[in-house]
Amino acid sequence: MDREGEDDEEEEEEEGVIAGEREEQAKEGLFFLSKHDKIIWSSIAYDKQEQGRKDKGGEAMLPPSPLMQSSLLPPTTGPPEPTEYSLVHARDIASTFFMFITPSIERKILEMTNLEGRQKIGDGWKRMDITVYEQLVPFTGRCPFRQYIPSKPAKYGIKTWVACDSKTSYAWKMQVYTGKAMATDADAAAAAGGGGGGGGGGRRRRRRREDSGPCAGHDPEKNLGMQVLHDVTEGLRDRNVTCDNFFTSYELGQQLLKRKMTMVGTVRKKKPENLPYVPKKNKNVLLVSTKHTEAEVTDCHDRKPVIILDYNRCKGGVDNLDKVIGTYSCRRMTARWPLVVFHNIVDVSSYNAFVIWRELNPEWMPQKRNKRRVFLERLGKALVTPLIERRERLPRTEVSAAVVRGVRRAVSRSRTRGEGEDVEVTEAAGAASGADDPTGARKRCQFCPRAKDNKTSTVCSGCKKYICKSCSLPYRAECAAENFETD
């Protein structure tokens, strides 16, 4: 007990000495104690060597503050280096920037922008409407998943699920339907074991189903419409989806609401989730909507519900895509279905490019109705011009050789003028291949009366005007040169 009492007295003396030193250093402005007496702040740098000498001499020293303790850490040698995360994710300039602007930040910015737009503009700030429907690419050859749809103009072809914008028909995502998924070995074994009347009958029934092909299963696929719609709308948020009764269901509407998306679509009358009683059984049109919260009716004489008008306005997005693709298409007759799918990809991609170009350049070709045809012509010339320049020999046919020569001359002229734009090069190439080509497009003779309407592809080498045979005389090059000299 006596020893413990002496230790307590020594500790009290040390605390008194430390307190005295603190008061003296506080008077000198060296150390400052926090309000709760737990942190000591210092106005001088921490000296590790001085601390070591005082420890060896047995003198009391104030406990270092958190700022002092940070100086006790081993110093780092050399400049700071990037972290391992940066080394893995910084592949180029864009990826380095997106390390800080993460997808969650992008979604938050988009959400707040849409919220501000709806608050400021109101109904003028509308969400994009998405149409989900099926597309049938015409094909009558052999294909394991070829479909027959009598309501389509082609009737036979390859079915593709499409999600596109209802207004512009811009295709967001497409998915080829390859038929019903084949049953796994476990499912086949369970089906064989569960069949009554012996194993032989079960094997025969299973063999008949396998011989019928992957698209001709007797049992329909369950929830196929819901699965397809989720696949083709993946990555979309804050949109409205318009679909037909193949996709529409109550469960689908609830799942889309979790993704902050709404749905408008017709529904089949025999679905168990519908009302058991319908006033006009053969005349009513049943629709399901998670977008409309009130039973609004138009002010027109027909008094149609707003939900019907919204559905009619958005339901033709995929059908319009089929129409515009069919107008200008690169499809060719073929018996191979992969080539048919490739042709459809090229057609849809070119139309998507046209939609983006039109939105970015609203003043391009104003008040013209052949914008898409001109865009496709320039796109084709831009794609083939590098290949034409790379040719070592001219083609055998005179028409193809004249086109190649015209393109080469146009490219050389554009390079000498210092024009580096692809659009200008293609325009010059098109002008050279059209006007300077004596075997180019057929036009009306510029010397005959307009009533005759004589079409010709011959261009005068002197005045560069189209001239028909009745207005010209054939000359050899030498004879023409002699006649010009005598004249």
pLDDT for residue 267 is more than 90: no
Whole-angstrom Cα distance, residue 137 to residue 347? 11
Residue predicted with more confidence, 324 or 212:
324
Do 376 and 415 fall within a single domain?
yes
Note the pLDDT tens digit of each residue in 67-80: 444 444 455 556 77
Note the pLDDT tens digit of each residue in 293-303: 888 888 888 88
Among 341, 364, 387, residue at a domain's last position: 364
pLDDT for residue 429 is more than 50: no
Domain-located, residue 195 = no
Residue predicted with more confidence, 428 or 120:
120
Do 329 and 282 fall within a single domain?
yes
Q: With bands split at pLDDT 50, 70 and 90, how would you rate the model's confidence at 286?
A: confident
Query: Is residue 460 within 8 Å of 438, Cβ to Cβ?
Result: no
User: What pLDDT sits at residue 43?
Assistant: 60
pLDDT for residue 46 is more than 80: no
Domain-located, residue 398 = yes
User: What pLDDT sits at residue 205?
Assistant: 31
pLDDT for residue 62 is more than 70: no
Domain-located, residue 188 = no
Note the pLDDT tens digit of each residue in 356-413: 999 888 888 888 888 999 999 999 888 888 888 888 788 888 878 888 888 888 877 7
Name the least confident of 133-137, 242-246, 343-347, 417-421.
417-421
Note the pLDDT tens digit of each residue in 434-465: 444 444 577 888 888 888 888 888 888 778 88
3-state class (DSSP) for residue 147: strand
Do 433 and 467 fall within a single domain?
no
Phi, psi dihedrals of residue 304, rounded to the nearest 5°: -80, 145
Residue predicted with more confidence, 334 or 184:
334
Domain-located, residue 310 = yes
Domain-located, residue 211 = no
Domain-located, residue 224 = yes
Among 340, 364, 388, residue at a domain's last position: 364
Q: With bands split at pLDDT 50, 70 and 90, how would you rate the model's confidence at 104?
A: confident
Whole-angstrom Cα distance, residue 348 to residue 346? 6
The total number of structural domains that make up the chain: 5
- Chain centroid offset of residue 338 CA: 23
Question: What pTM value is reported for the model?
Answer: 0.58
Do 271 and 168 fall within a single domain?
yes
User: Which residues pair with residue 350 across a beta bridge?
Assistant: none
Q: Which stretch of DSSP H or E encloses residue 374?
A: helix 371-390
Do 167 and 285 fall within a single domain?
yes
**Segment 149-176 mean pLDDT:** 92
Do 113 and 131 fall within a single domain?
no
Whole-angstrom Cα distance, residue 239 to residue 336? 37
Whole-angstrom Cα distance, residue 224 to residue 215? 14
Domain-located, residue 95 = yes
Do 267 and 344 fall within a single domain?
yes
Q: Which domain holds residue 112?
A: 84-122
Domain-located, residue 322 = yes
Residue predicted with more confidence, 132 or 8:
132
Among 338, 364, 390, residue at a domain's last position: 364
User: What pLDDT sits at residue 348?
Assistant: 93
pLDDT for residue 341 is more than 90: yes
Burial 231-267 (b: 16+ CB within 10 A, else e): ebbeebeebbbbbbbbbbbeebbeebeeeebbbbbbb
Do 395 and 449 fall within a single domain?
no
Do 452 and 434 fall within a single domain?
no
Do 18 and 105 fall within a single domain?
no
User: What pLDDT sits at residue 479?
Assistant: 73
**Segment 3-12 mean pLDDT:** 62
Do 35 and 168 fall within a single domain?
no
Do 229 and 111 fall within a single domain?
no
pLDDT for residue 193 is more than 70: no
